[in-house]
């Protein structure tokens, strides 16, 4: 019967351990303090707690009790609001008299009923009364003193680092009974619009300007455009001082003007001014023009400006304005229809009375009109993003009142104006009278066709006038290879019509610029009487051959162009990078000639005396090369055709050296590497890194395990063709002692092939040595390739993961070497979508963390050698992520998804290092420090026990002589949670040694023979109850007795 009674007692005993925290305090409310003060408590534990008999104290000169709390069950992650009589929605009412700070430190604290646990805040300074806090006596670090009506609040609910200055902040908008909101200033960078042939792209950076992270509070950026496009970018986390890029792409719209804006939505942001950005771009020629200006009206009339939309689409001008020379702005505020007019004026009634033919949709009255100058003025039509649609200027000595200034042609982007000749003095919302003054013909190249024999061009001759062109004999003149050809026109286009003229020339075989000109005496606008086209008949006729992106100090940047076409070249080019384009420059290149392009010729001649002036081409508005990496494009100026584009990367170790193209004659297989020339560059001459004429190498050797073959890619990196070569394969067992098999293969030219391979033994590797041989090969150093082929073996594994570290602690991974036969020197680790590559040391364990700062912090925190800490680890996502680990031979060692540790500062440990990485092979670290970097895992097993056992030794033991009882446990599980409680023979709980503690399947618990109060137990028998639960809920339970002797 006694045994049954004890068993029932054992099941009913439960001790909960929780951590109520002071979370927010209002000690100086608006108006009189009486009745309005409050204290907020937060439960940051995992179990509920009864606040009955907990004590609230405050301090001025010393801590005194404000009150004792009644029964209140505070659930995990729940708030309890303790307030005075006038505080709304309180959970507990209490008369409070908190100190207001102002001249010395004051404090508040909460104590458990037995005073064994307390949480304290000390605010304001100096601490003249030596008040203690939870860290030191007297307190040395203080929370700030808040202004009237503000509260003191924890930055993170319940997060306590025992640092009053860093844990608390002044909250301008108190949140009693609700989560605290720390003000976090997020900013949007200027919105960028990029236009590509088939698509458009919006992008902006969200920058965290604050000193705290955005964690799980969520923010979003809403994009919208005048096309109807709407998208939202959502992000949950952003570290302090960091940024994230929001990008959206969509099909390029068929409209003349694209406007987009982005709005940042984040409830915790106190600064809204930097949460909006916009951008715009014209996708066609400027669609809206300033077409007519009445700057000197009759005395009883008013000024006005006429706009004309020459595009095929309606355009909303809400964000457009006209700016004058003084900077004053006239807003537009209205939609302008396609091929229609819009009149801007300060008095629409007066204007309509004078010109009654104007429709209401063609006029808008502005309340910010700025009066126009009668003699000299400049007007610019643009939007709020400073995208300029048109600009005009006039300088006039005398002008008749009531006569407008009209644009001659809306087809011409350049403004040419004359006085209106209409009898009414102006033509608002009608076609300008000035368009009937003189003929205006234009010429443009519409299309180009290139064949092996001919170049064919379609020329468009357009009459921009509003009347037929009579009594003129226009001629077409073309300049081709320095020859002049003239073509007479028998037919002229009708008003505002055009004709096409087809011209054919022999194919020059390289790059050619051809100028076309229309000769028409008396033409109103000579600016549109010529057009030049550039064609690259031979692709890759020129190459960007060398780049000095990071030259020695005080030296100019430059790049080198090489003529590889077999023809002498003369053309106009521009160069651009990702963000800017240079002004055009002329190039003359003989066959095989190098030309150095730079902005400072004299500085370059001084740095490289071997260069002559002829070898250097100066250019204006140079691009600025990025020091680390960039894309460079060489374009034909008159057609925007790209004739070469390259990408380069430059490491800091090669700063000061130029980057040379390794294969100047290759169209595709090339790369840029640091110059090996003693002068650090080779401008004007052949590159120092050009490969030998003949060189065979392995480009790739990838084993495929499931199909037991190896894919080989063999490449001739030399400049000349190799007639044939021989491939030999040798396969060795793990000890490299037995020669197993060889094969000989003969092939011509570079090739791709598969070689059949045997299967390695379970848990082992085979080594395969491939060798290349060719008579012409000039470099034998790269003719051998070794691969390792594994079969369910783990030479290196992820052994420990710290993805949820304590505040200000770095994230890290631990790599463990498990196989002595093959240990990869380089590992590739893919975490979600981010990749890092690391070169491993030879020691058994090493760590990988984010950067050098994290490396030094880990070394200092855990007293670890820095040579065993590698950098480059991507961020470990909250909540877990996929991890894949492989070597350079594509052997995959680990491929799994980890789940984040349930507690901050607790690592995930692999239980059996060379066993599969499924979720049952991972568990939380049980080391008191929370992790075991570069040390044996706290839950490591060589193998899982086959059955459970519990052993106590010594038994009996003598607590009075300082002896301890060791309780050894083993369960047939990889990880388990255990309870260990000790009862006397009357069923009373004497000691709670372990409560739901994560542990390895094999572990020890030590009992020092004392009860929970610290007193040594009396002589006699005691009952030890062990309960263990695995991750699936299966329970193991065992009871044993132990004797405490003399």
Q: Do 163 and 232 belong to one domain?
A: no
- 640 in a domain, yes or no? yes
Per-residue model confidence (pLDDT) at position 492: 65
Q: What is the CATH number of the domain that holds 580?
A: 2.60.40
Per-residue model confidence (pLDDT) at position 490: 64
Q: Do 713 and 626 belong to one domain?
A: no
- End-of-domain residue from the set 246, 281, 316: 281
Q: What is the CATH number of the domain that holds 474?
A: 2.60.40.10
HSE-CB of 662 using CA atoms within 13 angstroms: 14
- End-of-domain residue from the set 535, 562, 595: 535
Q: Do 661 and 572 belong to one domain?
A: yes
- End-of-domain residue from the set 416, 436, 456: 436
Residue 769, φ and ψ in degrees, nearest 5: -110, 120
- 890 in a domain, yes or no? yes
Whole domain around residue 1032: which residue ranges? 949-1044
- 602 in a domain, yes or no? yes
Going by their DSSP bridges, the two strands 881-887 and 826-831 should be labelled as: antiparallel
Q: Do 300 and 431 belong to one domain?
A: yes
Neighbours of 737 (CB within 10 A): 7
- Is residue 649 a contact partner of residue 673, using CB atoms and an 8 Å limit? no
- 938 in a domain, yes or no? no
Cα-atom radius of gyration of the chain, to the nearest Å? Answer: 41
Alpha carbon distance, N-terminus to C-terminus of the chain? 29
Residues whose CB is less than 8 angstroms from the CB of residue 536 and which lie 6 or more positions away in sequence, other chains included: 510, 511, 636, 641, 643
Residues of the chain below pLDDT 50: 1-18, 734-748
Query: Residue with structure tokens 């300008």?
Result: 432
Q: Is 860 helix (H, G, I), strand (E, B) or coil?
A: helix
Q: Which run of H or of E encompasses 24?
A: strand 20-26
- Each residue's pLDDT tens digit, 636-646: 888 888 888 88
**Nearest in space to 94 (alpha carbons), one of 106, 81, 107:** 81
Neighbours of 920 (CB within 10 A): 17
Q: Do 961 and 1019 belong to one domain?
A: yes
Per-residue model confidence (pLDDT) at position 942: 66
- 944 in a domain, yes or no? no
- 681 in a domain, yes or no? no
Instruction: Put the strands of the sheet holding 79-83 in their side by side order.
Output: 92-93, 79-83, 38-43, 20-26, 151-154, 168-171
- Is residue 1022 a contact partner of residue 983, using CB atoms and an 8 Å limit? yes
- 679 in a domain, yes or no? no
Per-residue model confidence (pLDDT) at position 308: 96
Q: Do 55 and 100 belong to one domain?
A: yes
Q: Do 417 and 467 belong to one domain?
A: no
Please state the pTM of the whole predicted model: 0.42
In angstroms, rounded to a whole number, what is the distance separating the alpha carbons of residues 157 and 241? Answer: 22
Q: Do 298 and 371 belong to one domain?
A: yes
Share of the chain above pLDDT 70, in %: 87
Query: Residue with structure tokens 């990025």?
Result: 626
Per-residue model confidence (pLDDT) at position 742: 42
Neighbours of 678 (CB within 10 A): 6
Q: How many domains does one find in the chain?
A: 8
Q: Do 161 and 122 belong to one domain?
A: yes
- 623 in a domain, yes or no? yes
- Is residue 823 a contact partner of residue 846, using CB atoms and an 8 Å limit? no
Q: Is residue 244 classed exposed, middle or buried when 0-12, 13-18 and 19+ CB atoms within 10 A define those classes?
A: middle
Residues whose CB is less than 8 angstroms from the CB of residue 1045 and which lie 6 or more positions away in sequence, other chains included: 956, 957, 958, 1019
Q: Do 307 and 449 belong to one domain?
A: no
Per-residue model confidence (pLDDT) at position 4: 35
**Nearest in space to 913 (alpha carbons), one of 798, 1043, 754:** 798
Q: Is residue 146 classed exposed, middle or buried when 0-12, 13-18 and 19+ CB atoms within 10 A define those classes?
A: buried
Cα distances (Å, whole numbers) of residue 233 to 6, 250, 911:
61, 14, 40
Per-residue model confidence (pLDDT) at position 16: 32
Q: What is the 3-state secondary structure (H, E, C) of 255-294?
A: CCEEEEEEEEECCCCCCCCCCEEEEEEECCCCCEEEEEEE
Q: Do 395 and 316 belong to one domain?
A: yes
**Nearest in space to 84 (alpha carbons), one of 148, 31, 27, 153:** 27
Per-residue model confidence (pLDDT) at position 151: 92
Q: Do 514 and 641 belong to one domain?
A: no
Q: What is the CATH number of the domain that holds 415?
A: 2.60.40.1260
Q: What is the CATH number of the domain that holds 985?
A: 2.60.40.4070
Per-residue model confidence (pLDDT) at position 5: 33
């Amino acid at each position: 019967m006694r045994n049954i009674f004890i068993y029932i007692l054992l099941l009913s005993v439960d001790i909960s351990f929780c951590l109520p925290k002071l979370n927010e305090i209002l000690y100086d409310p608006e108006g009189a303090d009486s009745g309005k003060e409050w204290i907020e408590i937060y439960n940051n534990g995992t179990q509920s707690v009864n606040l009955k008999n907990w004590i609230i104290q405050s301090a001025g000169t010393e801590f005194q009790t404000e009150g004792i709390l009644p029964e209140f069950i505070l659930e995990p992650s729940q708030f309890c609001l303790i307030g005075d009589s006038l505080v709304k929605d309180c959970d507990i009412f209490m008369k409070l008299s908190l100190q207001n700070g102002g001249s010395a430190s004051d404090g508040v604290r909460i104590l458990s009923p037995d005073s064994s646990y307390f949480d304290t805040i000390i605010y304001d300074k100096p601490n003249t009364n030596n008040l203690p806090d939870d860290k030191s006596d007297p307190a040395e670090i203080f929370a700030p003193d808040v202004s009237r009506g503000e509260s003191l609040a924890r930055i993170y609910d319940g997060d306590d680092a025992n640092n009053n200055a860093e844990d608390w902040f002044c909250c301008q908008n108190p949140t009693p009974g609700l989560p605290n909101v720390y003000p976090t200033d997020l900013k949007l960078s200027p919105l960028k619009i990029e236009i590509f042939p088939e698509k458009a792209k919006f992008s902006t950076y969200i920058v965290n300007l604050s000193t705290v992270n955005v964690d799980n509070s969520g923010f979003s950026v809403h994009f919208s455009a005048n096309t109807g496009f709407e998208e939202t970018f959502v992000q949950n986390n952003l570290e302090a001082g960091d940024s994230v890029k929001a990008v959206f792409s969509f099909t390029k719209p068929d409209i003349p003007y694209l406007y987009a804006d982005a709005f940042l939505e984040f409830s915790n942001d106190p600064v809204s001014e930097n949460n909006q950005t916009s951008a715009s771009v014209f996708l066609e020629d400027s669609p809206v023009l300033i077409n007519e200006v009445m700057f000197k009206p009759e005395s009883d009339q008013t000024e006005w400006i006429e706009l004309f939309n020459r595009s095929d689409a309606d355009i909303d001008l809400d964000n457009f304005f006209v700016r004058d020379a003084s900077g004053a702005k006239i807003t537009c505020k209205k939609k302008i229809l396609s091929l229609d007019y819009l009149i801007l004026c300060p008095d629409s009634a007066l204007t309509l009375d004078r010109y009654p033919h104007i429709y209401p949709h063609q006029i808008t009255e502005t309340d910010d009109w700025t009066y126009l100058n009668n003699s000299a003025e400049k007007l610019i039509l643009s939007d709020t993003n400073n995208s300029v649609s048109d600009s005009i200027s006039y300088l006039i000595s005398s002008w008749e009142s009531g006569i407008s200034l009209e644009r001659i042609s809306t087809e011409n982007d350049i403004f040419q104006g004359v006085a209106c000749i209409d009898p009414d003095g102006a033509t608002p919302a009608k076609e300008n009278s000035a368009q009937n003054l003189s003929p205006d013909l234009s010429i443009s190249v519409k299309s180009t066709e290139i064949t092996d024999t001919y170049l064919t061009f379609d020329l468009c001759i357009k009459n921009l006038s509003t009347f037929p062109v009579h009594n003129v004999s226009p001629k077409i003149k073309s300049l081709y290879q320095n020859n002049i050809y003239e073509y007479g026109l028998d037919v002229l286009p009708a008003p505002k019509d055009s004709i096409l003229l087809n011209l054919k020339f022999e194919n020059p075989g390289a790059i050619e610029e051809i100028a076309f000109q229309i000769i028409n005496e008396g033409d109103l606008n000579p600016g549109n009487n010529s057009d030049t086209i550039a064609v690259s008949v031979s692709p890759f006729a020129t190459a960007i051959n060398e780049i000095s992106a990071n030259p020695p100090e005080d030296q100019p940047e430059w790049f080198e162009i090489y003529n590889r076409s077999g023809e002498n070249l003369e053309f106009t080019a521009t160069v651009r990078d990702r963000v800017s384009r240079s002004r055009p420059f002329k190039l003359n290149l003989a066959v095989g000639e190098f030309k150095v392009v730079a902005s400072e010729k004299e500085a370059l001649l001084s740095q490289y005396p071997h260069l002559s002036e002829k070898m250097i081409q100066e250019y204006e508005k140079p691009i600025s090369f990025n020091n680390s990496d960039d894309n460079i494009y060489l374009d034909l100026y008159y057609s925007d055709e790209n004739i070469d584009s390259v990408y380069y990367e430059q490491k800091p170790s090669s700063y000061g050296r130029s980057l040379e193209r390794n294969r100047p004659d290759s169209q595709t297989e090339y790369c840029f590497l640091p110059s090996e020339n003693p002068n650090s560059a080779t401008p004007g001459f052949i590159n120092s890194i050009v490969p030998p004429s003949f060189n065979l190498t392995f480009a790739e050797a990838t084993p495929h395990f499931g199909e037991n073959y190896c894919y080989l890619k063999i490449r001739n990196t030399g400049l000349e063709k190799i007639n044939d070569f021989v491939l030999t394969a040798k396969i060795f067992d793990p000890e490299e002692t037995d020669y197993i098999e060889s094969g000989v293969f003969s092939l011509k030219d570079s090739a791709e092939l598969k070689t059949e391979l045997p299967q390695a033994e379970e848990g082992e590797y085979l080594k395969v040595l491939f060798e290349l041989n060719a008579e012409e090969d000039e470099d034998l150093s790269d003719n051998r390739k070794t691969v390792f082929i594994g079969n369910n073996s783990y030479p290196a594994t992820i052994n420990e993961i710290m993805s949820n570290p304590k505040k200000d602690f770095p994230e890290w991974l631990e790599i463990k070497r498990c196989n002595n036969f093959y240990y990869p020197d380089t590992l590739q680790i893919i975490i979600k979508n981010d990749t890092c590559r690391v070169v491993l040391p030879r020691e058994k364990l090493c760590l990988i963390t984010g950067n050098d700062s994290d490396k030094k912090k880990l070394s200092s925190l855990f007293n670890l050698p820095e040579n065993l800490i590698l950098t480059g680890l991507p961020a470990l996502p909250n909540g877990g992520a996929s991890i894949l680990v492989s070597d350079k031979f594509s052997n995959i060692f680990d491929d799994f998804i980890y789940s984040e540790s349930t507690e901050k500062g607790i690592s995930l440990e692999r239980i059996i290092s060379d066993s599969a990485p499924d979720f049952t092979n991972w568990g939380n670290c049980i080391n008191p420090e929370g992790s075991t970097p570069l040390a044996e895992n706290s839950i490591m097993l060589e193998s899982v026990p086959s059955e459970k056992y519990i052993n106590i030794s010594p038994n009996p033991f003598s607590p009075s002589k300082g002896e301890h009882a060791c309780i050894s446990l083993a369960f047939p599980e990889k990880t388990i949670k255990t309870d260990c409680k000790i009862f006397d023979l009357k069923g009373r709980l004497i000691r709670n040694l372990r409560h739901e503690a994560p542990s390895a399947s094999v572990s020890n618990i030590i009992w020092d023979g004392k009860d929970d109060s610290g007193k040594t137990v009396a002589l006699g028998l005691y009952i030890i109850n062990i309960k263990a639960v695995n991750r699936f809920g299966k329970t193991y339970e065992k009871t044993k007795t132990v004797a405490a002797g003399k």
